[in-house]
C-alpha cells in the first residue's frame, strides 16, 4: 500500500484579481522506502501542491481532490488532527534551512522541544533522542552541536540539522522541497547520500522536489514532471529521464548542463517562459513553447494517460520509441 496517494488534487489561491488555479488535477503516489522525484520549472506548482497537503496554504485557498496518507484523507481531515500528523508522521524540509530552524534557539532546544511535544518524552530521554538524531545525520560531536546555534554551522550542516528535526518523530513520509538548491555541489551530494541512506534504513517514503533533473537521476525511483500545475509525464526514473517522451521533459533534459557539452549536444535553454497561473493558453499549456505542437494541442488540454511504461499527457508523443 502507498504511504501517500494523491488523486485529482486541485488548488486555487486567492489573488487581488480573483481566485487563480495553481494546481490543476495532480495525481501521484509514494511507497515506503521509495523516493518520488518531482521536477518542473519555477512556478509550476510543486511547493503549493505539497503545502496543500499540510494545510499550510494562505487563508481562503480552496483545495479539491484527495490525499490518502496511510489510508486517511489529509484534505478533509479536521485541522487539529492534521496538525498532529504534520510534523510527526509527515515531515517537511525546505530549501533554506533557516525556514525550518529558529535562529535564536540552540539546536538542542529545537530538537528536544520537538521530540518532547510529539513523543511525550521526559528531559533526559529527549536529550538522548536528540544526540541519536544528530548522529544519524552525521553531525560531528553531537553533544557540542546541541549547545550551538544554527548560524554556527555551514549551510550543509544546517540542512542536516533541519533533516534531523524532520526525522525526530520517525515520520513515514518526508517531503524535501529543494533541500540542496542553496548548497554547493559536493555538499549537495552529501545531503542526497544522507536522504538515500535514511530512506533505506528507516523505510522512509520521500518526495524530493527540485528543478534540477540531475539531482533526481542520482536518487529518485520514480519521477513526476510538473508543468503549469499539472503532471505532464511520470514513471520510473530510467524510463522518463533516459527516454523522455513529453517535449517538455525533453527540453528540461536538454537544458541540463552536461559536463560533456559539445557540438553534438549543445546546451539548449527552453525557449519562452512558463505561463503565469490564470493566464494559461488554451489547450496544452506547453503548446506555445513546443516545436511539435499541432492543431489539437492548441484546442484540447491533454489528459495524463498510460502510454506503455509511463503516463504521458501529450497526444503527439513525438519521441515514442
Ligand atoms: N500566496 C500565493 N498567492 C497567490 N499565488 C501564489 C502564492 N504562492 C505562490 N503563488 C503562485 O503559485 C504558482 C506556483 O508556485 P509554487 O511555489 O508552487 O511553484 P514551484 O513549482 O514550487 O516553483 P519554485 O521552483 O520556484 O519553487 C506560482 O506562479 C506562484 O506565483
Ligand atoms: Mg517551490
d(CA 97, CA 179): 8
Q: What is the pLDDT of residues 247-297, one digit of tens each?
A: 999 999 988 776 555 555 555 678 888 999 889 999 999 999 999 999 999
Ligand with the closest atom to the CA of 210: 1
d(CA 199, CA 85): 19
Which is nearest to 223 in space by CA: 189, 265, 252? 252
Q: DSSP characters for 44-111?
A: SSHHHHHHHHTT-SPTT-EEEEEEEETTEETTTS-HHHHHHHBTTTEEEE-SSHHHHS-TTS-HHHHH
Grid cell, residue 294, equals 499541432
**Residue 65 placed within a domain:** yes
- Whether this model's pTM surpasses 0.75: yes
d(CA 31, CA 29): 7
Is the distance from the beta carbon of residue 44 to the nearest atom of ligand 1 less than 6 Å? Answer: yes
Is the distance from the beta carbon of residue 283 to the nearest atom of ligand 1 less than 6 Å? Answer: no
Question: SS3 for 23?
Answer: strand
CA 23 to ligand 1 centroid distance, Å: 10
pLDDT at 174: 96
Phi, psi of 176, rounded to the nearest 5 degrees: -110, 110
pLDDT at 263: 57
Number of domains in the chain: 1
CA 288 to ligand 1 centroid distance, Å: 21
Place of cell 517535449: 247
Grid cell, residue 38, equals 518531482
pLDDT at 143: 94
Which ligand 1 atom is the nearest neighbour of the CA of 23? 14
CA 52 to ligand 2 centroid distance, Å: 13
Grid cell, residue 200, equals 533505506
**Residue 250 placed within a domain:** yes
**Residue 28 placed within a domain:** yes
What residues make up the domain containing 11?
4-75+211-312
Angle at 228 between CA 239 and CA 292, to 5 degrees: 60
pLDDT at 246: 98
CATH (domain of 20): 3.40.50.300
**Residue 204 placed within a domain:** no
Which is nearest to 162 in space by CA: 202, 191, 127? 191
Phi, psi of 311, rounded to the nearest 5 degrees: -115, 140
Mutate to test the pocket of ligand 1, among 10, 23, 40, 44 (most ligand atoms within 8 A of CB): 44
Helix, strand, coil percentages for the chain (3-state, nearest 5): 35, 25, 40
Is the distance from the beta carbon of residue 48 to the nearest atom of ligand 1 less than 6 Å? Answer: yes
**Residue 241 placed within a domain:** yes
**Residue 115 placed within a domain:** no
- Across the chain, which has 321 residues, the per-10-residue mean pLDDT values are 95 94 95 96 94 93 96 94 89 81 92 86 92 92 95 92 90 93 84 92 94 87 96 97 96 77 60 89 96 97 97 96 79
d(CA 101, CA 105): 8
d(CA 295, CA 283): 9
pLDDT at 259: 55
pLDDT at 260: 55
Mutate to test the pocket of ligand 1, among 19, 24, 46 (most ligand atoms within 8 A of CB): 46
Is the distance from the beta carbon of residue 230 to the nearest atom of ligand 1 less than 6 Å? Answer: no
pLDDT at 23: 97
Burial (CB count within 10 angstroms: exposed 0-12, middle 13-18, buried 19+), residue 42: exposed
6 bridge partner residues? 28, 67
**Residue 272 placed within a domain:** yes
d(CA 150, CA 103): 6
Amino acid at each position: 500500500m502507498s504511504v501517500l496517494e494523491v488523486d485529482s488534487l486541485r488548488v486555487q489561491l486567492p489573488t487581488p484579481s480573483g481566485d487563480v488555479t495553481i494546481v490543476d488535477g495532480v495525481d501521484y503516489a509514494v511507497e515506503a522506502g521509495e523516493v518520488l522525484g518531482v521536477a518542473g520549472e519555477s512556478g509550476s506548482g510543486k511547493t503549493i501542491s505539497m503545502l496543500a497537503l499540510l494545510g499550510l496554504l494562505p487563508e481562503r485557498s480552496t483545495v479539491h481532490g484527495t490525499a490518502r496518507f496511510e489510508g486517511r484523507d489529509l484534505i478533509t481531515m479536521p485541522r487539529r488532527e492534521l496538525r498532529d500528523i504534520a510534523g510527526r508522521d509527515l515531515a517537511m524540509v525546505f530549501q533554506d534551512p533557516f525556514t525550518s530552524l529558529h535562529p535564536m534557539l540552540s539546536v538542542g532546544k529545537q530538537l528536544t522541544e520537538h521530540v518532547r511535544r510529539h513523543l511525550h518524552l521526559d528531559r533526559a530521554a529527549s536529550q538522548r533522542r536528540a544526540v541519536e538524531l544528530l548522529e544519524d545525520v552525521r553531525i560531528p560531536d553531537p553533544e557540542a552541536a546541541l549547545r550551538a546555534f544554527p548560524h554556527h554551522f555551514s549551510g550543509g550542516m544546517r540542512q542536516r540539522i533541519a533533516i534531523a528535526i524532520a526525522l525526530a518523530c520517525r515520520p513515514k513520509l518526508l517531503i524535501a522541497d529543494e533541500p540542496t538548491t542553496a548548497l554547493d555541489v559536493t555538499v549537495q551530494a552529501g545531503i542526497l547520500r544522507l536522504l538515500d541512506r535514511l530512506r533505506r534504513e528507516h523505510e522512509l517514503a520521500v518526495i524530493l522536489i527540485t528543478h534540477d533533473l540531475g539531482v533526481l537521476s542520482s536518487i529518485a525511483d520514480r519521477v513526476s514532471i510538473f508543468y503549469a500545475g499539472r503532471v505532464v509525464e511520470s514513471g520510473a526514473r530510467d524510463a522518463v529521464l533516459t527516454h523522455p517522451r513529453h517535449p517538455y521533459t525533453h527540453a528540461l533534459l536538454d537544458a541540463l548542463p552536461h559536463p560533456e557539452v559539445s557540438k553534438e549536444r549543445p546546451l539548449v535553454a527552453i525557449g519562452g517562459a512558463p505561463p503565469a497561473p490564470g493566464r494559461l493558453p488554451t489547450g496544452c499549456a506547453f503548446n506555445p513553447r513546443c516545436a511539435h505542437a499541432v492543431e489539437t494541442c492548441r484546442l484540447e488540454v491533454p489528459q495524463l494517460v498510460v502510454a506503455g511504461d509511463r503516463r504521458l499527457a501529450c497526444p503527439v508523443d513525438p519521441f515514442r520509441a
